[in-house]
Amino acid sequence: MKYKDLEKINKIIEILKASPNADENIQFVLRLADESVKAETLEKLIQKGQQSVTMPSKEQDEQAKFGLQFTTKEIDQMPKTFKKEFRAEGCTARIRKRQTGKNSYTYEIRYRRNGYNITITDKNLEKGKTRFLTALKTAKPIEKGFGVPTTFHEFSTYYFEHFRKRKVSERTYINDICRYKNHIKPYYESIKIKDITPDVCQKHIDTLSKTSTKTSVEVYGLMSVVFKAAIAHGIIEKNPLSIVLKPTHQCEHGVALTKEEEKKLLQGVKGTKYEYIFALALYTGLRPNELETAKIDGDFIVAKNSKRKGGKVEYKKIPICKMLKPFLEGVKTLEIPTLEYVRYEFNNVLPNHILYDLRTTFYTRCEECGVAEPARDEFVGHSRGRLNNAYSDLSDEYLRKEGKKLVW
């Protein structure tokens, strides 16, 4: 309490000394002061016949910053469900001040605990406070749903099986489960989600960052979606990761092969089943995980675009260029071994490169050979923006014409 507030309380006490039942009134004022009620509000509350209080904007700003306070009398008017909670939390509710115009504001009073989600918005804070008290009397908790677990591992499993699995690709889902089992589950196990604090999460992320920033970034993202799902189910109010310092990871981009390295690669697997597989990756720019979906369709290679989210299925067409055609003579069906074997054979020939570098090489050759940008994006499966994706449908003739440029 500030010195100015103390001075005002003293003035109020001096006024009360001359009133009937002075001792009782003074004790009442001191008790309210002890509960951190502002002196300006007290002075207005003791004025006879005053029904409501309109706070000056300065005090409204203070309450918007530190939380809306309720008097003992107001708490006594609350339903039993909320009385204990508001007393334990210092008689406050969360409040946000939002600017709606040049000189106008609204105040949002919010209570999100124990399955309740109560929100009241008003231009006047005191009116909003009255409406909030009324809303408490009719509030009902949000149903968490039948059988929804509230411990971390059990809820994570529930989320993965019921929601995550339907949202991401099969490979992403497998990687998520593997990442969860190795780097998340051992740390939290079956702790109640509401007991997981930001400090615990920060220590976990920091520990992972010491060995791999890439892993820590991936774990941070996966944990965040689990906590967001828990909020959506009414299990917790806030995401513990919201104030956790997110790790940074510098992604390493692919390096194009030189033309000499291209020859070395194809010569290194000449006569084996990997010869046309590496040629396919080199002359189409397919991502490694797209190779297994590739099919020959006339004079095109058709493959599933693995970078489409939300369960959307999209295929891309790459013309069989002059460089690729000799490797596919007599091949009717593309048979792709397990990706781990493909990577192993690739690294045997070019240990200083990764399989993804073949995609980088193809993209580079498209630029060097003057392939038009729309065709290049179509070949590699890049999005050209919502408008282009919605209204542009490149013809096979156009793609063939641009594909003929791929000669080096």
Q: How far is CA 285 from the centre of its chain?
A: 30
Say what the pLDDT of residue 136 is.
79
State the chain's mean pLDDT as an integer: 82
The per-residue pLDDT for range 212-229, each reduced to its tens digit, is: 899 999 999 999 999 999
The predicted-structure confidence for 241-274, as pLDDT tens digits, reads as follows: 999 998 887 766 789 999 999 999 999 999 998 9
Residues 6 or more apart in contact with residue 77 via CB below 8 angstroms: 133
Closest CA to 91 of 51, 133, 55, 46: 133
**Residue 154's pLDDT band (boundaries 50, 70, 90)?**
very high
Contacts (Cβ under 8 Å, ≥6 apart) of 298: none
265 Cβ contact list (under 8 Å, min separation 6) = 257, 278, 282, 346, 349, 350
Give the tens place of pLDDT for each residue, 316-363: 899 999 999 999 998 989 999 999 999 999 999 999 999 999 999 999
pTM of the model: 0.52
Q: Over range 70-96, report the average pLDDT.
A: 67
Are 381 and 317 in contact by the 8 Å Cβ rule? The answer is no
| pLDDT score recorded for residue 53 | 37
Confidence grade of residue 128 (pLDDT, cut at 50, 70, 90): confident
pLDDT of 59 reads: 52
